[in-house]
Chain A
Amino acid sequence: MAELNSKTPKGPLSSKWTQYKDHQNLVNPSNKRKLDIIIVGTGLAGSAAAASLGEMGFNVKIFCYQDSPRRAHSIAAQGGINAAKNYPNDGDSIYRLFYDTIKGGDYRAREANVYRLAEVSNNIIDQCVAQGVPFAREYGGSLENRSFGGAQVSRTFFARGQTGQQLLLGSYGALSRQIKLGTVKLYDRHEMMDVVIVDGKARGIIARDLITGKLERHFGHAVVVATGGYGNVFYLSTNAMGSNTSAIWQIFKKGAYFANPCFTQIHPTCIPVHGDYQSKLTLMSESLRNDGRIWVPKKKADAEAHRNGKLKANDIPEDDRDYFLERRYPAFGNLVPRDVASRAAKERCDAGFGVGPTGLAVFLDFRESIGRLGKHVIEERYGNLFQMYEKIVDENPYVNPMMIYPAVHYTMGGTWVDYELQTTVTGLFAAGEANFSDHGANRLGASALMQGLADGYFVLPYTIQNYLAGEIRVARMSTDKAEFADAEKAVQTRLDKLMSIKGTRSVDHFHKELGKIMWENVGMGRTEAGLKKAIDLIRKLRAEFWKDVKIPGTLYEVNTELEKANRVADFLELGELLAFDALNRNESCGGHFREEYQTDEGECKRNDEDYKYVAAWEYKGEGDFILHKEPLVYEEIEVKQRVYK
């Protein structure tokens, strides 16, 4: 395999993207019609890219496993989207957004990519407003902003607690318009099973129609994977039930390197786990930390009494409360970045101060802000979140403080891509959460929506042309080609194998077991011993899965168990790579915390000397991965200790 070349354009940071666009190759309108692009996934990145490319005149085929593109999990993002508009006049700028994002990512992101992200952030807001996204407004009619973790300015645009939904519906609208115009063809309830490579270039995919169970071959001059993150490797996460790693895992097996898999984000404000039957965790937006204060009892006895149901939170006097984030991080207080807040909560619970029936929860209290602002203001800001909490927990959060605990939320790692979002397989691109690009070791709140839309609206539609300009002489290929037939056959063999096991245990059983291994050993606090143990356990579990999984039904019908089994099979391999990467990275940074590497105060101890690189893994065979390093060079930013005190 070739050297990792990030293809970052030369020149000063602030003009790299302009330079790139000025000199890139473009495809003329009559040739655009002759070029087919396959996009997998209809979240922010996928639908925005499909709509934009369709508008330009390319032939786009878009795939999603859900019944409609509007259901992609981007829809669940609550808090907001960042942009460097500086509307509140609090000193924000493109540079500051870039700087905060790099620092928030603990200096493990590629400088040029992040700068470009900050640069296009303002265009995203303009675009979305033009589409009719109902962002929150001031009384004068201008756009309203709020503050989010990891920033000292207010730069987050929001649409109540449903920002992701509104942005997705915006791009879904744009996509729908192109579907109507015929430039985009939609394949819903279709799952990508594999990528087809012809002469070293991605030329199509094998997809399974989830209704009939039949395999289909689709040709494209280029393939874009925008299938989101792999948080469900932990079983319990804030991801949707269907969110999976299969697309990026299949392309990994076909030669697309997987970067920084160990950078997983644990979100601090989720509703705590309540039972074995639980299928998912519910996130409470980070925006709650604007007005809510996080605390645990100062006295262990109080915490224990609360765990046993003998003491109510409101009965604990003010002096006996430990507002541990405000205590440890006076400068940022409750608004420290997610990784810091999560670890601090875990530290308190591990030390015996956790509350709630399981002892794995801390309080998020609005008493003070309700007193200061009045209940109606809190209701206006967070009404739908409070209602959601009450529905799930059956407790009124206006009266009793919420109980929260960290949960797996977002994966910064993903398919390695260069500046053009192209993977190590020519003609194969990755966008949105599926790629590793912009968040480094930790993502700041309200940056995922920004990245998804940046990739989809403003980056990929340009960079993909630079590649396609060289493909205009390539005629549409017949899907009868041997490469397509072989790829389909391989998928068929795998599915037949899954169906033929006829074991004794359900898919969920294996998924839950895997989740347990991951959460205990590859979760918030990782150790060398734990990771080695995890690798061992995952291998055993995988072997057992392929011997003992039980899938009812047949191949050619709606078979939800088969769909799950196919995804879990990939998670069982990814889990191992994740642990591998975590084991390789002998430092703590962002979402990756190795207990061996911490300061005396329990903060992350980064090792820039040895680990200031992107770890891109190449697949050589099951459990056999080779590490490639992309060194991170910071020209513009001074690499510093990340302090929020």
Chain B
Amino acid sequence: MNSSFLRFSSITKKIWMAFLGLFLMIFLVVHLGINLCLLRSDGGAWFTAAAHFMGTNYIVKVFEIGLFAGFIIHIMLGIILQVQNWMARPVRYMVSNKTYTPFLSKYMIYTGGIVLIFLIIHFINFYFIKMGWVSNVHTSAEGEPNFYVIAQELFAQPVYSILYILFFIVLGFHLNQAFQAAWQTLGVNHPQYNTCIQRFGTFYAIIVPLGFIIVPVYFLLIR
């Protein structure tokens, strides 16, 4: 797969990058919806139901494959593009560039990298358990892992929660640049809609990470 990726033109790679990025952003909203169920004081009933549905529904399973592929390709493309970009300037400037560029737009690979680290931790904590690759102490009557309890325990650790919050702030910055950049890459740039796209991107990049952040804050401070 790697070599055929390299043979794609720069714009093809970019278009995939953008398309998958937008796809992942839709997924993120779904995930947020499930996470927000944690806030209900119903002993995890909704959350568990949602987790059960996501874990067993076949349509979701198909989507899950797409999702993983999306993640992996998005990440791999990001890395390939970045390596090529570094190679494009073998001799660096002595004075670092002073050109005005949008906030953190130059550091997408780093914000992306940080998000990737979080993703790995997150996978170890949840997905690996789901797949039974990691041993788990909290199991429900039917033998399914009890993610509600797992989440509760994790958020009860202040270090984990603070890291979690920081990761989502970084993700916010990543998304803020990513949303309008994706549309630019897909060729959508028109004076009539640019402001709208920009504003929606920023709105999304604030609201969605904020939604995720509310959960540990709730567990840390309110419960």
A–B direct touch in complex (beta carbons closer than 8 A): no
Chain A residues engaging chain B, CB cutoff 8 angstroms: none
